[in-house]
Amino acid sequence: MLNRPGAEALFRALCLVALTIPLAMLLVLLFHTFSEAYPRISWEFIIGYPSRKPALAGLLPALAGSFYLMILTGLMALPIGLAAALYLEEYAAPSALTRIIEVNINNLAGVPSIIYGLLGLELFVRAMSLERSLVAGAATLALLVLPMVIITSREALRSVPFSYREAALALGAEKWRTLLRVVLPMSLPGILTGLILAMARAIGETAPLITIGALTYIAFLPDSLQSPFTALPLQIFNWVSRPQAEFQVNAAAGIVVLVVLLMALNGLAIWLRARLQRRVYW
Amino acid sequence: MSIMEHIEPRTAVAESNRIETLNLHAWFGSFEVLKGISMAIPSNGVTAVIGPSGCGKSTFIRCLNRMHEVVPNARATGQVFLDGSDLYDPSVNPAQLRRRVGMVFQKPNPFPTMSIRENVLAGLRLNGARSHAGESEAVVERSLRQAALWDEVKDIQERPGTSLSGGQQQRLCIARCLAMEPEVVLMDEPTSALDPIATSRIEELLHELKRRYTIVLVTHNMQQAARVADRTAFFYIGELIEYGITKEVFTTPAKKQTEDYITGRFG
């Protein structure tokens, strides 16, 4: 064997540089945004309504819209995604058709979100005439995250050891009761983590909401499923596209709020996973 | 062919037979694990099934409650009679059958999301039974007492089942099985994951339980079979080689293979 002095250190250094580049860029971006946003971040900004005067404009309708969207998306995506995962993982016989469905779900997870926006526009806004409403937006986002929910739920179901299913079956349980009472409680941490990450993805999405025609300037809070709505990324997009420099500051402040929200959601997923897993004693 | 042919005449099984298998074959895919087992198991008492690894002893008892077929690609043919009716008849619902023929597994597997109490009641809940508080309490106490676990856990019933020691967990699994009031209890190497003290507690328990239940015990431990079993069956590569009164099988085996196995020449 030929031993090249320094080759080890050189390779290691190359890998470290590769790691540093994206981290440094992210830090620069965050620092830039935070320092620009800092003077604008205040309670008034968060609970304020949009305004033509940048200094008075606030975020509340967008924040509320994002919140409702997130909840509705989760409520729609969880039952459908979980039931689909249960079918694929527990009931579907391995066949060519099952494999085609599996491959396509994995592919759907990678389809650009604007395509889902076009689907939502045609299906929910026009065909089902839901207009540019909260429920149409949530349904579109639910479609978008559904593959993700199905995939993470399947992984969670698969992680439950066979011996516990066997124990339930040997007690005379039908399969559906085994799934509901033994397998689901054990896979819940994984399923919920997947759901929260999917909801985090949903509230960061802009393209599908623009495609279905969600408004970017809304001066009131959504009060029903049929209400028109706006969302954080839309509000940010709206402010960025304004010519006045003060609105750019608003946009930066909006980005900070969105980033904090996303980090909080990811933190919640981690916390929930750890906490629920402590209830599952292996 | 009569089933009785496979039982040595000297065993003279007098009691009624609770389980009878007739020409039972079992496969994993194309691999034949059981090659036509015909065997009669009388009511009550412990019937041990011994034999080297891979001889089909676990598969055999898993055919007695139709758990063999839950493994992908596994199938069985032949007949298994429980009190005279064939378990493999198409009209039999395997889930209902399994409530009558309970099973304890090799590795203790109390449900990790359930408390001790919930584990005991798991069978009833998993069958959709609704019972009021007093009733469940009685079931929990009776089952835990029968499994010789009551005194150790009566004050900590709300703790998770998996917080117990390995031996206690296995007795909890036995209590969970007994709560269903089965007629037959199948035990698949129930002590192989346990230490000697926990093992001897389970063996003591078997002496109690066999008065009330028909127990079929798979074990790779010949001393265990000698200690607890009334009858012993020796399996070798998917065939029933010898079956009779335990003492006779161990002291005067009729077949050369049995003798070689119990004297430790192979296995």
The string of pLDDT tens digits covering residues A267-276 is 998 888 888 7
Q: CA-nearest residue of chain B to A161? A: B109
pLDDT band at B7 (very low <50, low <70, confident <90, very high): very low
Question: Considering Cα of B251, then B252, then B258, then B263, what sign does the dihedral take?
Answer: positive
Chain A and chain B share a number of CB contacts under 8 A equal to 77
Which domains are delineated in chain B? 3-110+183-262 (3.40.50.300)
Q: How far is B186 from chain A (nearest CA, A)?
A: 10
- pLDDT: is B11 or A265 the higher one? A265
- Shortest alpha-carbon distance between residue B98 and chain A (Å): 5
| pLDDT over 80 at B6, yes or no | no
C-alpha to C-alpha distances, A122 to A3, A81, A119, A208, nearest whole angstrom: 64, 22, 5, 12
Q: Is the distance from CB of B191 to CB of B203 less than 8 angstroms?
A: yes
Residue among B123, B162, B180 whose CB faces A282 most closely: B162
Q: What is the ipTM of this complex?
A: 0.89
- Which H or E run includes A96? helix A96-108
Query: Residue type at B7?
Result: I
**Answer CATH for A43-216+230-279 from 1.20.120.1200, 1.10.3720.10, 3.30.70.240, 3.40.50.300:** 1.10.3720.10
pLDDT on residue A277? 72
Confidence label for A280 from pLDDT (cuts 50, 70 and 90): low
Judge whether A140 is closer than 8 Å to chain B, CB to CB. Answer: no
Contact assessment for residue B50 and residue B222, using Cβ atoms and an 8 Å cutoff: yes
* B 129-148 residues with CB < 8 A to A: none
Q: Does A167 touch chain B (CB under 8 A)?
A: yes
How does pLDDT run across B141-153, given as a tens digit for each residue? 999 999 999 999 9
Smallest Cβ–Cβ distance between A171 and the set B70, B122, B160 belongs to B122
CA atoms within 13 A on the CB side of A81: 32
Give the residue among B238, B237, B241, B191 at the shortest CA–CA distance from B217.
B191
Q: What's the pLDDT at B1?
A: 38
Q: Is the pLDDT of residue B11 over 60?
A: no
**pLDDT, mean over chain B:** 91
Given a contact cutoff of 8 angstroms between Cβ atoms, the answer to whether B234 and B50 are in contact is yes
A92 lies within 8 A of chain B by CB: no
The shortest CB-CB distance from A166 to any of B105, B112, B125 is to: B105
A172·B107 Cβ contact <8 A: no
Residues of chain B in contact with residue A170, where contact means CB-CB under 8 angstroms, are 65, 67, 98, 102-103, 105, 177
Q: Are B237 and B246 in contact (CB under 8 A)?
A: no
pLDDT digits (tens, 9 = 90+) for B165-210: 999 999 999 999 999 999 999 999 999 989 999 999 999 999 999 9
Element (H, E) at A142: helix A134-158
Q: What is the pLDDT of residues B50-105, one digit of tens each?
A: 999 889 999 999 999 999 999 989 999 999 999 989 999 999 999 999 999 999 99
Select from A178, A186, A281 the Cβ nearest to the Cβ of B126.
Answer: A178
> Higher pLDDT residue, A60 or B11?
A60
Are the C-beta atoms of residues B63 and B33 closer than 8 Å to each other? Answer: no
A239: Cβ contacts below 8 Å, ≥ 6 apart: A57, A247, A248, A250, A251, A254
Question: Is A282 in contact with B176 (Cβ distance < 8 A)?
Answer: no
Which residues are within 8 A (CB) of B11 and not within 5 positions of it... i.e. 6 or more apart?
Answer: B231, B243, B244, B245, B248
Q: What share of chain A is helix, strand, coil (3-state, %, to 5)?
A: 75, 0, 25
- How far is CA A126 from its chain centroid? 25
Tokens of A14: 């190359």
Distance of CA A120 to CAs A131, A211, A228, A236, Å?
10, 8, 15, 22
CA distances from A206 to A108, A134, A209, B39 (A): 18, 14, 6, 70
B128 touches chain A (CB under 8 A): yes
pLDDT tops 60 at residue B13:
no
User: CA B159, CA B164: separation in Å to the nearest integer?
Assistant: 9
Phi/psi at B73 (5° precision): 70, 10
Chain A: closest CA distance from residue B92 (Å): 13
Question: Is B102 within 8 Å of A170 when comparing Cβ atoms?
Answer: yes
* pLDDT tens digit sequence for A79-112: 999 999 999 999 998 899 999 999 999 999 999 9
Per-residue pLDDT, A50: 84
Residue A226: the pLDDT is 86
Using only C-alpha atoms, chain B has a radius of gyration, in whole angstroms, of: 18
CA distance B258 to B235: 9
pLDDT at B167: 94
Question: Which of A199-203, A277-281, B261-265 is most confident?
Answer: A199-203
Q: What is the rounded average pLDDT of the residues A190-200?
A: 93
Please say if the pLDDT value at position B5 is more than 70.
no
- Report the residue from A172, A186, A282 with minimal CB separation from B95: A172
Residue A192 touches chain B, beta carbons under 8 Å: no
**pLDDT above 80: residue B12:** no
Report pLDDT for B267: 60
Residue the block writes with tokens 């802009």:
A206
Question: Rounded distance, CA B133 to CA B153, Å?
Answer: 19
Please say if the pLDDT value at position B2 is more than 50.
no
Question: From edge to edge, which strands make up the β-sheet containing B31-42?
Answer: B31-42, B17-28, B74-82, B85-86
User: Looking at the complex, does the CB of residue B2 fall below 8 Å from at least one CB of chain A?
Assistant: no
- The alpha carbon of A225 is separated from its chain's Cα centroid by a whole number of angstroms, namely 20
Query: Across the interface, do A163 and B98 touch by the CB < 8 Å criterion?
Result: no
Domain ranges of chain A: 43-216+230-279
CB A140 within 8 A of CB A119: yes
Residue B249 has pLDDT above 60, yes or no: yes
Mutate to test the interface with A, among B126, B139, B143 (most CBs of A within 10 A): B126
Please say whether the dihedral angle defined by the alpha carbons of residues B201, B202, B203 and B207, taken in this order, is positive or negative: positive
How would you list the strands of the sheet with B184-188, edge to edge? B101-104, B184-188, B214-218, B46-50, B231-236, B239-245
Residue of A nearest to B109 (CA): A164
The pLDDT value recorded for residue A52 is 83
Q: B96 and A172: CB-CB below 8 Å?
A: yes
Task: Categorize the per-residue pLDDT at A278 as very low, low, confident or very high, splitting at 50, 70 and 90.
Answer: low
Name the residue facing A186 among B97, B113, B126 (closest C-beta). B113
